[in-house]
Amino acid sequence: MNLIRYNTIAVLLLLAFGVRAQDSISGIRLPGQLKYLELTQPALFTDNAAALGTAEFPSLGSTYASGSFQGGSFRRPQQPAEESAVSFRSERMMPLGKFRFAGAFTFDQVWSRRVMMSDVLDPYRGNPYILADSVGGNWNKQFYRLDLRAATVPLAGGKINLGAELHYNASTGARQNDPRPLNYLNQIDAPPSLVWHVSPVHALGINGWYRSYKEELDIKLVNTQNSQNLYKLLGLGEYEHGAPDIISTGYSRNYEGSQYGGDLQYFYRTDKLKIVLSGGFRYYSEDVTDGTSKPVNAGKYTYNEYRSSVHLVLPAHMGHSLTLSFNAQDRKGKEYHQVYDAASESFQTIFSSVFYTGTQNTFRAAYELFRNSGDACSWFAGVEAVFTDLDNRYAYPRNKQAAGRGRYSLYGEKNWQPAKRTSITAGMNAGYVSIFNNELQYVARDYSSGYVAAAVLHPDQAWLTSEAFLAGAHLQHTFPLKDGSRNAFFIRGEGSLTKPTGSGTESGLSGSRSSVCFTIGILN
C-alpha cells in the first residue's frame, strides 16, 4: 500500500511539473496551444492510447484551482437547487524518450443544497434502481479522479504502437440529516490498445475496454424514535410494493458492475488531410443488492452501447474540422421477487423478469473553422447540432416516457497578444434547445399514491421537453511569472445561462439556471 501511495505521489508530481524533453515550442506557454493539438492532431484524443505515439507533440500542461457556483429553478427534480464547488486539477501530456504520456489528477469538493428524492451520488447515470427519501437535504461530496495514458513510439520497424490507460475514480458523499445516506464509489477503467501502421499514411487501431464499478450506500438514523419513509425506485414513477419502506434504524445497498468492450479505428494522415474513423461496442452489467448478512437481489441493470464517429481535419493555416458521431444505448432492468427460506437462511428467487427497458440515441455534428498562428490556435469558430432521442418503458403497468431534443450551438474563441509575452482570450457561445418528441403515459394504480411519479417522473419530463435558450462566455488573461520563464500564470472567469422559452413544456417550468466559475493557474 505504501508503494502504491509513493508511486501515485510521483505520478502527480510528474504531471504537475513535468520532465522537460526537447520539443518544438519555444517561449511562453499560450492557451491556444492545446486547442491547436486538438484541432490538428485528432488521433491523440481518441479512446486508443497507443495513438499518442503516432504523432509528435510538445510537452504541455497546466495546474489550476477554481471555485464555481450554479443555481436556479430550471433544473431536473433530483438535481440540487444550488451547488458550489472548489476544484483542483493538474494535467500534462509529454514525450519522454521512447514513450508518450498524458495524464491528469482532479479533485472536487462539492456542496449540494436542497437535493430531493435521491440517496445516491448520481441519480442520472441510467440505473433505475435507486433509493430515495422524501426529506431531502444538503450534501457534502468529494470526487477524486486519476487519468493516465501511455504509448510507445513505433516499434517493430515502425509498424506497431502499444498503449495502455488507467482511469480511477473515487467519490464519497454524505448528508447530515435523517435519514443520513453515506456513499462510497470506486470505478476503474483499464483499456489496452494497439496501432498498426499499414503504410506511411494508413493505420489501423484497436483497443479493449474494461470497467469495474462499485458503490456502497449506507443509510443511518440518529433519531431512532422517528421512523422514515424510504422509496425503492424501479423506473418511470414505479417503486417497490407501491408504498415506501418504513425504516427506524438504517438500510444498506450495494451496486457492483462490470463493463467489457472495444473499439476499432482507421487513421489517415497527410500534411493536408487527417481522417479518424472509429466504431465500438460496450456491454455493461450491474447487480443491485440490499443488505449484507442476508442479501436480497434488488435489481439487475444492463445495457448495450454502440459507438461510431468520423473526424476529418484540413490542418492548413486556415483550417477546417468536421466531426460526426452516433451513440446508441439499449437498457434493461430486471426485477426479482424473493422469499426467505428458513432452511438455507437466505432469500430465494421465485420469479424474475425484465420490467424496465429504455433506449437512448444521440447524434452529433460539429464544424469548426480555425486559424493557426505558429504552434497555437489564434481563433476558432464552430457550429454544433446534437439530437437526443429517449424512450423509456415499464412493462406493467404500461408506462412510457419519450423525449426528443435538439440542441443547436454557435461558439467561438479569439486569442489576442497585446504584448509579446501576454495574451487575452475571450470566447462565447449561444444556443437553443428544441423539442421534436414529447410523450408521457403513466398508469395510476389504486394501491399506490403515485408520489414518486408526481415528485420525479412528471417534473423530469417537463424539464426534458422544455425549449430553452443557452448562452455562455469566458475571459482569460495569461502572462509570464517572470522574465525568461516558459511558464505562464492565468486568471479566467466564465459564466453560463439557461432560460426556458415557456413553450414545449408539459407543466410550464419557468425560471432559469446559471453558473459562474473563477479559475487561477499555471500553464507549463
DSSP per-residue string spanning 326-337? EEEEEEEEEEEE
* C-alpha distance from residue 469 to each of 254, 502, 514 (Å): 39, 10, 12
Phi-psi label, residue 436: left if phi above 0, alpha if psi -120 to 50, beta otherwise: alpha
Query: For residue 47, what pLDDT is reported?
Result: 93
12-21, 162-171, 285-294, 418-427: segment of lowest average pLDDT: 12-21
Whether pLDDT at 503 is above 80: no
Angstrom distance (rounded) from CA 299 to CA 332: 10
Number of neighbours of residue 508 by Cβ within 10 angstroms: 10
Cβ atoms of residues 174 and 157 within 8 Å: no
Q: At residue 440, what are phi and psi to the nearest 5 degrees? A: -140, 125
Rg over alpha carbons for the chain, rounded to the nearest Å, is 25
Q: Which stretches of 190-341 are assigned E, i.e. beta strand?
A: 192-197, 202-220, 228-235, 238-239, 245-247, 250-269, 274-290, 296-314, 318-341
What pLDDT digit, counting tens, does each position of 174-210 carry?
999 999 999 999 999 999 999 999 999 999 999 999 9
Cβ atoms of residues 41 and 54 within 8 Å: no
Whether pLDDT at 4 is above 50: no
What pLDDT digit, counting tens, does each position of 248-288 carry?
889 999 999 999 999 999 999 999 999 999 999 999 999 99
- In one-letter notation, the amino acid at residue 364 is R
Query: For residue 8, what pLDDT is reported?
Result: 46
If DSSP codes are grouped into helix, strand and coil, which group holds residue 502?
Answer: coil
Label residues 13-30 b or e (16+ Cβ within 10 Å = b): ebbbebeeeeeebeebbb
Per the structure block, which three cell numbers stand in for 489? 500564470
Q: Is 266 exposed, middle or buried (0-12, 13-18, 19+ CB in 10 A)?
A: middle
Residue boundaries of the structural domains of the chain: 29-523
Q: Residue 17: which H helix or E strand, with range?
A: helix 2-17
Per the structure block, which three cell numbers stand in for 396? 406493467
Phi-psi label, residue 132: left if phi above 0, alpha if psi -120 to 50, beta otherwise: beta
Angstrom distance (rounded) from CA 377 to CA 32: 5
Sequence length of the chain is 524
Q: Residue 95: which H helix or E strand, with range?
A: strand 82-96
pTM summary value: 0.92
Query: For residue 30, what pLDDT is reported?
Result: 67
If DSSP codes are grouped into helix, strand and coil, which group holds residue 472?
Answer: strand
Mean pLDDT (whole number) for 319-336: 97
Q: Tell me the percentage of the chain whose pLDDT exceeds 90.
A: 79
- In one-letter notation, the amino acid at residue 175 is R
DSSP character at residue 44: G
Query: For residue 508, what pLDDT is reported?
Result: 53
